[in-house]
Amino acid sequence: MSIISYSLGAVEEVTGSKHILEIDGLPYMIDCGAWQGAESAQERNREFTFPVDKLQAVFLTHAHYDHCGLLPKLIKDGYTGSIRSTPATRDLASIVMLDSAKIQKYEKGGPAYEESDVVEAINHFRCHAYRKEKVLDERVTYTLYDAGHILGSSMIDISVLRKRNFFQKLIKKEDERIHILYTGDLGRNSNPITRKPDTDMPAPDYIFLESTYGNRTHESLEHCYEELTNVINETVKRGGKVIIPSFAVERAQEIIYYIKRLMAVDAIPRVPVYVDSPMASNATGVFNIHPECFNEKIVNEFISKGKNPFSVRSLRFISDFRESQAVAKSKDPSIIIAANGMCEAGRVINHLKEGIENPKNTILIVGYMGEDTLGRKILEKEELLTIDNKEYHLKAEVHKINAFSAHADYNEITAWLNEIDTSKLKKIFLVHGDKDAQEYLQQHLTEKGYKVEIVTGDPIKL
């Protein structure tokens, strides 16, 4: 039997996740994400470099755009099979993909897909609960395990039956199952909303492991609360606004949850809180119908008591664009959570244009900012920034809180590896990370006794 893996995206970078597992020439796909950030991203998203119609099945680890964003194009280009995920992932991915289709209408080269393609893609989903083994064919089964990253996120354990021939069986070599684990994006034990990553999967022979924060450590949750409190209080005291560029799925809901807890104990003033993202509004609704994905604390404190963990008295979801512009122009103190997370598009652009030159304001960075994005330039405090072909001077305060990240850092990755059964583990393959992060994590894990390889896109024989 021939088992070959190769990656078409998230290779020494953190977007465009696409991995192919080929079993005796039959390809299975793990994630079909869009590239983000760089100017070349739109071009890269227009063409697939593999035969779409040959795919046997597609697995989706979670609903972030860099993992699900090109599924509608896959259907448009001829894929007729199923898309396997958890129910929560399907519901969130539907929102993300529809939002993308709307945005693409205004791209210069035309859309990679349209809303009708998204609807068709949704019809291809086949959803399963965690830890329930499903059969694809006589040789291939798979099981979804909670990755603890965002609502519904999963690790995918693909089990392949490797049959021995007659002569091998004569020397007592029985049939065996090879377990290949794709982590998708691995979460953290301290995630305030979701459960910690599962560790009870069968012993993997190979792991394809994300490495976004492979060379960094995160601050503690307690430090996060302290920093968020200080940023909000100091900004409001100056008479300014806290502008938070945030991804609409998971990060926005986390921030609302943090603000809710801080306002409940009067740690911060009850200023208006605006969520300026229709997608974040819709995603928050999805969160409310999937309590099966929440951690025990959320269930005990809110769900079991019929309370909403994502509701603040002063919270307002903005749907109308004119209201968005009015809030952006307002000088009154407030907290604004606006998409897009890397400041490349979306409603956050209005708030940056109106607020970036006001020294009373704070731009609060709460997530990863890809190279060459406006968000990275703000994070690095470049003095002169171009937004919508116009130059702006960065005068607002810029603050970053690392503890908001939903990705495991290198210590958390190591701790997770220590908890799972690695008795059969032959090698770890690093994907979804910048090169410097991967090189650091490779050295770190090698020192811990693991065999580690950085994926370059070349075929890997397993």
Q: Where in the chain is the domain with CATH 3.60.15.10?
A: 3-216+406-461
Instruction: Give the CATH superfamily of 3-216+406-461.
Output: Ribonuclease Z/Hydroxyacylglutathione hydrolase-like (3.60.15.10)
Confidence category of residue 1, pLDDT binned at 50, 70, 90: confident
- The CATH code for residues 221-404 is 3.40.50.10890
Name the DSSP class of 336. Answer: E
Domain with CATH 3.40.50.10890 in the chain: 221-404
Q: Which helix (H) or strand (E) holds 121?
A: helix 115-122
Mean pLDDT confidence for 283-291: 88
Task: Provide the pLDDT confidence category of residue 166 given band limits of 50, 70 and 90.
Answer: low
What does the pLDDT read at residue 259? Answer: 94
Rounded to whole angstroms, the Cα distance separating 152 from 287 reads: 10
pLDDT: which is higher, 247 or 95: 95
Q: Which of 44-48, 396-400, 410-414, 416-420 has the lowest mean pLDDT?
A: 44-48
**DSSP three-state, residue 126:** strand
Q: What angle do CA 81, 131, 80 make, to 5 degrees?
A: 5
pTM of the model: 0.90
pLDDT exceeds cutoff 90 at 164: no
Q: Assign 25 a pLDDT band (cuts: 50, 70, 90).
A: very high
pLDDT for res 38: 63
**pLDDT exceeds 70 at position 231:** yes
User: What is the pLDDT, as a whole number, of residue 377?
Assistant: 94
pLDDT of 173 over the 90 cut: no
| Chain segment 79-118, per-residue pLDDT in tens | 999 999 999 999 999 999 998 998 888 777 789 999 999 9
Q: Give the Å distances, CA to CA, from 65 to 35, 324, 390.
A: 8, 23, 27
- Name the burial class of residue 4, with classes exposed (0-12), middle (13-18) and buried (19+) by CB atoms within 10 angstroms of its CB: middle
* 66-96 core/surface letters (b: 16 or more CB in 10 A; e: else): bbbbbbbbbbbbebebbbbbbbbbbbbbbbb
Residue 123 pLDDT more than 90?
A: yes
Q: How confident is the model at residue 308 (pLDDT cuts 50, 70, 90)?
A: confident
SS3 240: coil
User: How many CA atoms lie less than 13 Å away from 120 in the CB half-sphere?
Assistant: 18
pLDDT, residue 169, reads 61
Which two tokens mark 41?
């991203």
Identify whether the C-beta of residue 155 lies closer than 8 Å to the C-beta of residue 208: no
The winner for highest mean pLDDT among 107-111, 340-344, 345-349 is 345-349
- Rounded to whole angstroms, how far apart are CA atoms 111 and 386? 24
Which pLDDT score, from 0 to 100, does residue 42 have? 83
pLDDT value for 167? 62
Compute the C-alpha angle 414/415/417, nearest 5°.
65
Question: Average pLDDT in the 180-191 region?
Answer: 94
Give pLDDT tens digits for 423-452: 999 999 999 999 999 999 999 999 999 999
User: Residue 145 and residue 198: Cα distance in Å, rounded?
Assistant: 6
CB atoms within 10 A of CB 385: 18
Q: What is the mean pLDDT of residues 151-178?
A: 81
pLDDT higher than threshold 70 for residue 261? yes
Averaged confidence pLDDT in the chain? 92
Residue 203 has pLDDT above 70, yes or no: yes
For residue 445, the Cα-to-chain-centroid distance in whole angstroms is 23
**What does the pLDDT average to over 200-213?**
97
Query: Does the structure show a pLDDT above 70 at 168?
Result: no
The residue among 33, 27, 35, 8 whose CA lies nearest residue 19 is 8
